[in-house]
């Protein structure tokens, strides 16, 4: 049987042709020693391998893929694995092949249907020098059904939730992931949903997802309404930086308390939401929990009302979020600063005379860390959830009386159409070694934000001076405990500026934030 040419051997032969006469003589001496001593010489093998690695790292070594051999898959279709390793076939050198193999391995691992993936290079056919066969060996998941359950608390909101999920992997061999989840939050939000994800559908090169959900949210404490939404979401495009989805839902707003303000009562009832959602995201920070260098940017665009139905809500919503981290070079100190903004407008005939739909508006407040969260203007430390911005007095019904009046002490926050937030956060290590080893550190921060109404002709009274005067702000210091899953903060917040009806508090506050 003829011996096949090995690409590594070819590299060594090229070295012999290109090196000086002294190196050839040294190699002849090595061959004579091998003939005299049949036992392998570890030093000789080490020298040859070092020479090969040196050539690979300094010169381009031509090499092309003859065939991709797939092993270990009993249920998974060959076509799925081949689609994830297509980049291997276009490699024209050893360097490109090693890089493509690393990318292919990561793609196969990301499918979540294999326990292990191993990609190796073998010799190509002897009659085709300069070729190699790539062997892709996979081990499919032993248990295709997985699940988890957990209880999560939010001390700052005095609430808790229980969440559970089940996931079925690779049911039909196309890398399909079927999952169902249930989330029940005490006195706020509950959701039940089911979905499927396909890494490759027909000729599309990006994953396709579909999800149906039933969501119930209780905003009675903040805005005197409850929201229920039955929706369908289709993920049309999903890459590293781009995401395109279509959402269709039927939403219902109710007021069981019968105390909603006038503008809230006008929004009660049913609404049909049909919109495209495009998101561009780039995150070059070294950590989403404690970033000390890099930047991040997110832009999200929504166009509502594309469904041909007069009941479909028509609006355009645009958000952006920009972050930057600057290292100082000592005590792992870094300055994080960012700015986020968003605008919401209805569209159609006389669009500025119409109100925007309540759940689509912007709301500010809450104790989520602005360093950790990324996606738009939402958080403002020191202010309660939905604790600032336009508000209206609630209606109060007197017992045994048909008369109604309003009580200014109880107000509904109705959100805004234009929101802007900014923050600066200086983090640094503490002098105790045990805290540094646990990545526990301190920080000082400052936050500012504003929320304004533009629709229903409110834009006529808008001015930059009024918008500047509408900003609220806070400062503080605190202790940060970052983990792999979330970031916990114990902060002392001091309110610098708030308006008459804003809900803010100077004092110690707890914060739990997740970058996911």
| Element housing 51 (H / E) | helix 42-58
Helix (H) or strand (E) holding 256: none
Tell whether 231 and 132 lie within a shared domain: no
Same domain, 230 and 128: no
Question: Out of 11-15, 346-350, 417-421, 502-506, which region has the weakest mean confidence (pLDDT)?
Answer: 11-15
Same structural domain, 366 and 250 = yes
pLDDT of residue 47: 67
Which has more confidence, 401 or 316?
316
Mean pLDDT (whole number) for 288-309: 88
CA atoms within 13 A on the CB side of 425: 30
Distance (Å, rounded) from C-alpha 124 to C-alpha 131?
5
Count of alpha carbons within 13 angstroms of residue 482, beta-carbon side = 20
Alpha carbon separation from 198 to 142, 178, 298, 312, 441 (Å, rounded): 20, 9, 25, 29, 41
| Region for 326 from its dihedrals, namely left if φ exceeds 0, alpha if ψ lies in -120 to 50, beta otherwise | beta
- CA-nearest of 504, 468, 496 to 388 is 504
The last residue of one of the domains, among 111, 140, 169, is 140
Backbone angles phi, psi at 45, to 5 degrees: -60, -40
Q: Are residues 287 and 424 in the same domain?
A: yes
| pLDDT tens-digit map of 188-221 | 778 899 999 888 766 666 788 999 999 998 898 8
pLDDT over 60 (residue 34): no
Cα separation of 143 and 168, whole Å? 9
Inside any domain, residue 121 = yes
Is the separation of the CB atoms in 111 and 144 below 8 Å? no
pLDDT tens for 432-454 read 889 988 889 999 999 999 999 88
Q: How far apart are CA 354 and CA 356, in angstroms?
A: 7
Q: For the segment 128-137, what is each residue's pLDDT rounded down to a tens digit? A: 888 888 888 9
Number of structural domains the chain divides into: 2
pLDDT of residue 203: 66
- Mean pLDDT for 288-297 is 92
CATH number of the structural domain spanning residue 357: 2.40.160.50
Rounded Cα–Cα distance for residues 312 and 307 (Å): 6
With respect to residue 35, please indicate whether it lies within any of the assigned structural domains.
no
And the tokens for 190?
């509950």
User: Looking at the structure, do residues 329 and 434 belong to the same domain, yes or no?
Assistant: yes
Over residues 48-52, mean pLDDT: 61
Give the lowest-confidence range in 79-83, 406-410, 435-439. 406-410
| Long-range own/partner contacts, residues 25-28 (CB < 8 A, 24 or more apart) | none
Domain stop point among 105, 140, 175: 140
Q: Tokens representing 469? A: 């005067």
- 14 falls within a domain: no
405 or 183: whose pLDDT is higher? 183
- Say if residue 231 is in the same domain as residue 329: yes
Q: Decide: 231 and 277 in contact? Cβ < 8 Å.
A: no
DSSP 312: B
Band (240; pLDDT cuts 50, 70, 90): confident
Per-residue burial over 13-35, b if 16 or more Cβ lie within 10 Å, else e, is: eebeeeeeeeeeeebeeeeeeee
Predicted confidence band of residue 516 (pLDDT cuts 50, 70, 90): low
pLDDT for 257: 87
Span 415-437, average pLDDT: 92
Q: Per-residue confidence at 23, pLDDT binned at 50, 70, 90?
A: very low
Residue 230 has pLDDT above 90, yes or no: yes
Of 328, 326, 323, 306, which Cα lies nearest the Cα of 315?
306
Q: Is the pLDDT of residue 427 over 90?
A: yes
In the chain, what is the greatest distance between 2 CA atoms, to the nearest angstrom?
A: 113
Query: Bigger pLDDT: 391 or 200?
Result: 391
In whole angstroms, give the CA distance from residue 165 to residue 147. 5
Q: Which has the higher per-residue pLDDT, 74 or 424?
A: 424
The C-alpha angle with vertex 234 and arms to 232 and 240, in degrees rounded to 5, equals: 140
- Answer whether residue 10 shows pLDDT above 60: no
Cα separation of 484 and 498, whole Å? 35
- Tokens standing for 462? 């808008």
pLDDT at 311: 65
Assess whether pLDDT exceeds 80 at residue 28.
Answer: no
Separation of alpha carbons 429 and 433, rounded Å? 9
> What is the C-alpha to C-alpha distance for residues 12 and 172, in angstroms, rounded to an integer?
47
Residue 130 lies in a domain: yes
Do 386 and 500 share a domain, yes or no? yes
Is residue 119 situated within a structural domain? yes
User: Residue 164 domain-assigned?
Assistant: no
Q: Is 178 a member of any domain? A: no
Supply 47's token pair. 């020298």
Contact 449, 387 (CB under 8 A): no
Record the tokens describing residue 54, joined without a space: 């040196």
CA-to-CA separations, 217 to 9, 161, 214, 422, in angstroms, rounded: 67, 13, 10, 28
| pLDDT, greater one: 393 or 513 | 393
Q: What angle do CA 18, 24, 27 make, to 5 degrees?
A: 125
User: What is the per-residue pLDDT across 317-370, written as a single tens digit (0 to 9) for each?
Assistant: 999 999 999 999 888 999 999 999 999 988 877 777 788 889 999 999 888 888
The last residue of a domain, from among 140, 172, 206: 140
Q: Could you tell me if 181 and 215 are in contact, meaning their C-beta atoms sit under 8 angstroms apart?
A: no
- 261 CB contacts (<8 Å, ≥6 apart)? 224, 392, 393, 394, 395, 411, 412, 414
User: Does one domain contain both 266 and 370?
Assistant: yes
Same-domain pairing of 374 and 482: yes
- What does the pLDDT look like over 152-192, one tens digit per residue? 655 544 556 788 889 999 888 888 899 999 888 776 778 89
Tell me the pLDDT of the chain averaged across its residues: 82
CA atoms 193, 199, 200, 205: torsion sign: positive
- Identify whether residues 467 and 356 lie together within a single domain: yes
- Look at residue 282 in the predicted model and tell me its pLDDT: 94
Give the residue carrying structure tokens 């300055």.
335
Residue 480's nearest CA partner among 433, 448, 512, 446 is 512
Range of the domain at 391: 222-395+411-513
CATH number at residue 98: 3.10.20.310
Q: Decide if pLDDT at 12 tops 80.
A: no
Domain identity same for 381 and 261:
yes
Full DSSP string of 374-439: -SSS---TTB-TT-BS-EEEEEEEPTT-S-EEEEEEEEEE--BSEEEEEEEEEEEE-S-HHHHHTT
Asked whether residue 123 falls in the same domain as residue 266, the answer is: no
Edge-to-edge, what's the strand order for the sheet holding 64-71?
A: 64-71, 131-140, 114-123
- The crossing angle, in degrees rounded to 10, of helices 7-18 and 42-58 is 80
Q: Is residue 384 part of a domain?
A: yes
């Amino acid at each position: 049987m003829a011996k096949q040419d090995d690409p590594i051997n070819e590299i060594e032969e090229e070295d012999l042709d290109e090196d000086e006469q002294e190196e050839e003589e040294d190699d002849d001496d090595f061959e004579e020693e091998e003939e005299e001593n049949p036992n392998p010489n570890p030093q000789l093998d080490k020298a040859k391998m070092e020479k090969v690695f040196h050539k690979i790292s300094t010169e381009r070594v031509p090499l092309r893929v003859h065939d991709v051999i797939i092993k270990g898959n009993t249920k998974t279709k060959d076509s799925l694995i081949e689609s994830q390793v297509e980049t291997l076939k276009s490699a024209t050198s050893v360097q490109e092949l090693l890089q493509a193999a690393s990318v292919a391995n990561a793609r196969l691992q990301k499918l979540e249907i294999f326990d292990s993936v191993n990609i190796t290079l073998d010799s190509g056919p002897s009659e085709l020098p300069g070729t190699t066969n790539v062997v892709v060996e996979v081990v499919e998941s032993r248990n295709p059904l997985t699940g988890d359950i957990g209880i999560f608390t939010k001390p700052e909101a005095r609430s808790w939730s229980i969440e559970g999920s089940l996931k079925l992997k690779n049911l039909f061999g196309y890398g399909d992931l079927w999952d169902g989840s249930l989330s029940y939050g005490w006195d706020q939000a509950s959701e039940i949903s089911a979905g499927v994800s396909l890494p490759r559908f027909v000729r599309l090169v990006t994953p396709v997802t579909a999800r149906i959900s039933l969501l119930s949210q209780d905003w009675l404490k903040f805005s005197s309404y409850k929201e229920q939404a039955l929706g369908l979401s289709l993920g049309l495009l999903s890459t590293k930086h781009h995401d395109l989805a279509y959402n269709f839902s039927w939403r219902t707003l109710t007021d069981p308390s019968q105390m909603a303000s006038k503008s809230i009562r006008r929004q009660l009832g049913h609404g049909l939401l049909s919109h495209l959602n495009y998101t561009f995201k780039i995150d070059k920070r070294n950590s989403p929990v404690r970033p000390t260098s890099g930047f991040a940017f997110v832009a999200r665009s929504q166009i509502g009302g594309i469904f041909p139905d007069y009941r479909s809500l028509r609006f355009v919503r645009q958000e952006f979020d920009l972050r930057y981290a600057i290292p100082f070079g000592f005590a792992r100190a870094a300055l994080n600063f960012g700015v986020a903004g968003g605008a919401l407008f209805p569209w159609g005939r006389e669009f500025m005379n119409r109100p925007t739909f309540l759940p689509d508006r912007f709301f500010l407040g809450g104790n989520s860390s602005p360093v950790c969260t990324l996606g738009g203007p939402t958080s403002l430390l020191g202010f309660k959830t939905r604790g600032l911005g336009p508000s209206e007095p609630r209606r109060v019904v007197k017992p045994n009386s048909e008369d109604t009046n309003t009580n200014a002490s109880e107000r509904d926050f109705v959100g805004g159409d234009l929101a802007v937030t900014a923050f600066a956060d200086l983090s640094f290590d503490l002098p105790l070694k045990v805290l540094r080893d646990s990545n526990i550190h301190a920080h000082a921060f400052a936050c500012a934000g504003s929320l304004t109404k533009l629709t229903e002709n409110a834009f006529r009274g808008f001015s930059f001076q009024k918008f500047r005067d509408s900003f609220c702000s806070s400062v503080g210091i605190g202790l940060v405990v970052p983990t792999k899953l979330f970031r916990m903060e114990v902060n002392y917040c001091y309110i610098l500026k708030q308006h008459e009806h804003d809900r803010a508090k100077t004092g110690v506050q707890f914060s739990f934030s997740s970058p996911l």
